Every structure is written in structure tokens, then in C-alpha cells.
Structure 1
Amino acid sequence: MSRPERFEIEAAGQLGHVFVSKAPAGPAPARTAVVLIHGIGVSHRYLSRLHGLLAESVDTYSIDLPGFGSTPHPETTLPVADHATYILGALEQLGVLEFVLVGHSMGSQFAIEAALQQPGRISRLVLMGPVVDPLRRTVVQQALALGRDSLFFESPSSNAIVFTDYFRCGPSWYLKTLRVMMDYPTEERITGVSAPVLVVRGADDPVASADWCGRLAAHAARGQLLEIEGTGHVVQHNRSVEVAGAILDFAAIHPAARETPQERPA
């Protein structure tokens, strides 16, 4: 697959980047699209394996939200709702009016909020490694879980992407956004989502525990949980083939014919 085309888009008074890959002509409906949203401190880069696999079958969009990746930092801290408004506005500018929305980690909060703001545009919602479990709502608990994940359950390549993106994000913007993430009532807000919801977690993920993800799926009006063995929090990078297949199946998108996948290197 060729590299995604990058669009610099201003929406809701903020500047972000959208990376676009159009699927080859095939059985997927013309209006179908999948949109990928990163979590705190990172960018589209740790979604790139998943993006490439999905783009074989469906139009795929990855977004670098304002303040992340190579986008400029906003002048003030943005609440979750403002990030959601940016997502919806940027996609509208690109003519993407209905889509499957996929968020990872804090990106799951942005995805939930977007589904609440404009429910008619989001046909399915996929939450990968969602945060924050209200039973572990302290920065120290989250930091310890993330440390365990990076030490024991991540590949060298996922750690390299995540920590270089953290460096690009910078400690000031990261900490400002962290406060927003910790205060967002994910379990409460998901109850208002009308779209079907798929919660995906790596079976070894210490950040998004099995109990928490099960509760979150149960709180959704139409929720289900999928655990993927042999990986931690960055499930979409380390088990991209399985995650892509789950998303396409959940969205009832017929996957493009492809050779039997080989295990990707770490």
C-alpha cells in the first residue's frame, strides 16, 4: 500500500493532521470509512500497521489531534469534548459524513464524546484499551500500570514509537492532557452512546484490565468485549492482523482477498 496522503486541516479553531488512504475498488460500500484516533502523548504512527491493513478493504483515516504528533500545541488545554468536535469537523471537511470510529486508550474517550455529539454519523464504535478505570483513578496507579506494560508486555517497536512520540509531545502538554484524561467519566458517558460498541483489549494489558473492559462493554447499550491473547496495551500495533479482522467483522465490511498473513516483526 502507498503511504497515506496527509491533509492539514483547521477545524473548531484548532489545527491537526488527517492521514487518508483510499481502498481499492471492491465490495465495500462507497460510503464506508474507518477513522482511527490515537491516545495521550502519541500520534498516528502507532496506528500505522492497523491503518495499512484496514486500507486494503475500506477507506481509512488516521488523525493527529491538535497538540500531538507534529501539530502545534493549542494555546489552552482542550477538554475531551473539544477534541471530539475537531474530529467531527475535520472529517466533515473531507466529506466523511458516516464512519466507524476507533479510539485507543485516551482516544476511546474522544471517540465516545464524538458519538455523543453527532450520533447519526457514527455507525460503530471500537474502543481499544480504554481508560480510565474509576477503581484506579490516580496518576500514580496509571503510571505504574503503564510502566508494567512497557517493561513486560510491549514489543521494542511499540515502545520506540510511543516514547519518541511522548518526547515530541513534551511534558507540559502531556501533563495538561493527563489531567483531562483522568477526570473524564468514561463509564458514565458510554451509557449515552446509541451505536454498537466493541471493546478490544490485549489479554495482558495492565492499563485496561479485563474487569474494567467488561464493565465498560456492559454499560454500553449494545456492547461486546474482545480479548486478544499475547499482547498488552498497544494491541493494535502488536496484533494488528487480529485487530483489523475484528474491526472489519464488527463493521460487516468484507475484507479484501490477501495472502495468509505472516507474523510481523517486533
Structure 2
Amino acid sequence: MASNRNETTMSRPVRIEVEAAGHLGHVFASRRPAGTAGEAAVVLIHGIGASHRYLQRLHGLLAESVDTFSIDLPGFGATPRPSHTLSVAEHATYILGALEQLGVTEFVVVGHSMGTQFAVEAARQQPSRIPHVVLMGPVVNDRRRTVAQQALALGRDCLFFESPSSNALVFTDYLRCGPNWYLKNLRVMMDYPIEEKIAGVTAPVLVIRGANDPVAPADWCRRLAARAASATFLEIEGTGHVVQHNRAVQVADSILGFTGAAASGNETAQGSTA
């Protein structure tokens, strides 16, 4: 029976504590009924200081068509803080290990902001498990590689291009993260050369940005896509950096279309653009 994409048709995701690679995180799982045909699962990865909360709208829409998992990485959201700051590679190892424990052997990895770095690294570590990679608002722009430039871009985004709800989600998660842990992870983010690492990704890549996003400008996203073996670039009008929250329907439809899950998803959900 067809359902309206603007209504909540799935039950709330189940939170699962998963220890992998010596670290504890939370996985929020929405699985379709047993025996339901579907494409590879989709795994959503948050950015620096954030959590699964600003991915919830996108998660709910994707879960209508495919098994969907959102992760609170170790040290973020309500997860315990690791004894040391994890590298991008260590976060990727956690993601791969956690999903393996849950029996998810193949999945589309979708990262936002710093989460795009974890997505790229996971696709490099175990390419056979990841058929598609989606990068939303990727960082760090290689022509604005200072903390001051990134802070200015983020400030402009929050002031002029975000919705009150997206700002509320991000800022409350930043408060939970705390300045010390945020700054430690900021150095990790700034030091990761995603523009070099993406060349090692063999899976097709979709780069998405909000058309008003000052953190991930169009020229940077196009240059990043050009360095991938196979990539598509997409802009979504009328929003800034937190594109997956403010334009969740468009982002979900783009991901499903890119991965080939749109046709099977339409059997259970008819898309209507908000």
C-alpha cells in the first residue's frame, strides 16, 4: 500500500550499543520486514560535534525503502568518550566493525561534513562492502584550510542559511560534545586530505551540497568530485550546510536514485517533493 513521504510510516529506530575496534558507539537501526526485497542498506554518518539527531529526517525517509542505520560515533552524542582522540581511519574501522557485528555486510555509506571523511576512509578500507558513497557538504575545502576560515564559513552558514531547527540540533549537540573534545577532533578533521584520499575510492560517488553552503562551496565540491574515479555532483537549492535536514526529501530521493533503490522504494512509498 502506498504511503505519503511526508508522514511517518516507520517505527522509531532501535538503538543498539555496539563495541567494535575497542570503542563503544550507538547504532540506530531501522530494518524492513523479513523477506522484503531491497537494495544494499544505507548507513548515515554525522559530522564533527554532531550526532544522529540531525540525520533523523533523512533516516526516516530512507527507511521506507531500504534498511537504514545511523551511527553515533564513539565520543559523540550520548556515547562514552574514548581514551584518546580517534583518527579518521579509526572511526572508519569502528563503522565497518559495528555494521559487521549487526550482520550488515554491504551498505551505501552516507557522510555529512566531517562524516564524509569517515565515509571515504571506510570505502578505502573495505571497498568490497561499499557499492556507493554519498558525500554531503564535504570538508575540508583545500583552498580554505585554516581553522579561522572554516569558523567564518560555519558562522555565515548558521546566521544566514540554516533553519532554526537545524541550528538547534547542531548547537545542542555541540554543547554535549564540549569545547575540548570538539577542538581535539577539529585538528583531526583539518589534517585529513580528503581531496587526495578520494582517488582511492573505487565505488561511484555522489557529492551533494546545499546551493548556499559556504562550508562546502561549489568549486570545491566540483574539484573533489573530479578527483574520484566515478562521481556525480548535485546541488540542492534553498539551503546551506545541513542539507540533509532542511531538504530531507530531495536528499533522500537523490540517494535512492543514485544507488538504484528508487524503483524498489516506489513499491512501498510514493515520492512527493516538499
Q: TM-score, normalised by structure 1?
A: 0.96
Counterpart of 1:4 in structure 2 is 13
User: What are the Cα deviations for residues 197-225 of structure 1, in whole angstroms up to 9, with x where unaligned?
Assistant: 00000000000000000000000000110
Counterpart of 1:48 in structure 2 is 56
Shift of 1:117: 0.5
Shift of 1:27: 4.5
Match of 2:77 among 63, 69, 73: 69
User: What are the Cα deviations for residues 125-148 of structure 1, in whole angstroms up to 9, with x where unaligned?
Assistant: 000000001110000000000000
Counterpart of 2:129 in structure 1 is 121
Q: Is the 8 Å Cα contact of residues 250 and 273 (structure 2) preserved in structure 1?
A: no
Counterpart of 1:14 in structure 2 is 23
> Aligned pair 1:28/2:38, yes or no?
yes
> Aligned pair 1:212/2:220, yes or no?
yes
Counterpart of 2:167 in structure 1 is 159
Quote the Cα distance in structure 1 between the aligned partners of 2:65 and 2:244: 17
Paired residue total:
261
Letter of the aligned partner of 1:150 in structure 2? C
For structure 1, which runs of at least 5 residues remain unmatched after alignment? none
Shift of 1:167: 0.3
Quote the Cα distance in structure 1 between the aligned partners of 2:270 and 2:104: 30
Counterpart of 2:269 in structure 1 is 258
Identify the range of structure 1 (2-11 vs 248-257) with the bigger mean alpha-carbon deviation. 248-257
Quote the Cα distance in structure 2 between the aligned partners of 1:13 and 1:28: 32
User: What are the Cα deviations for residues 69-115 of structure 1, in whole angstroms up to 9, with x where unaligned?
Assistant: 00011111111000000000000000001110000000000000000
Letter of the aligned partner of 1:203 in structure 2? A
Partner SS for 1:157: helix
Quote the Cα distance in structure 2 between the aligned partners of 1:88 and 1:17: 13
Shift of 1:260: 5.6
Shift of 1:262: 6.8
Letter of the aligned partner of 2:67 in structure 1? D
Match of 1:132 among 140, 153, 174: 140
Partner SS for 1:123: coil
Letter of the aligned partner of 1:28 in structure 2? G
Quote the Cα distance in structure 1 between the aligned partners of 2:75 and 2:38: 33
> Aligned pair 1:229/2:237, yes or no?
yes
Q: Is the 8 Å Cα contact of residues 115 and 122 (structure 1) preserved in structure 2?
A: yes
Counterpart of 2:45 in structure 1 is 37
Distance 1:260 1:195, change over 3 A: closer
> Aligned pair 1:238/2:218, yes or no?
no
Q: TM-score, normalised by structure 2?
A: 0.93
> Aligned pair 1:57/2:68, yes or no?
no
Counterpart of 1:170 in structure 2 is 178
Quote the Cα distance in structure 1 between the aligned partners of 2:64 and 2:251: 14
For structure 2, which runs of at least 5 residues remain unmatched after alignment? 1-9
Shift of 1:232: 0.3
Shift of 1:259: 5.2
Counterpart of 2:119 in structure 1 is 111
Quote the Cα distance in structure 1 between the aligned partners of 2:115 and 2:50: 10
Shift of 1:28: 1.9
Match of 1:86 among 84, 89, 94: 94
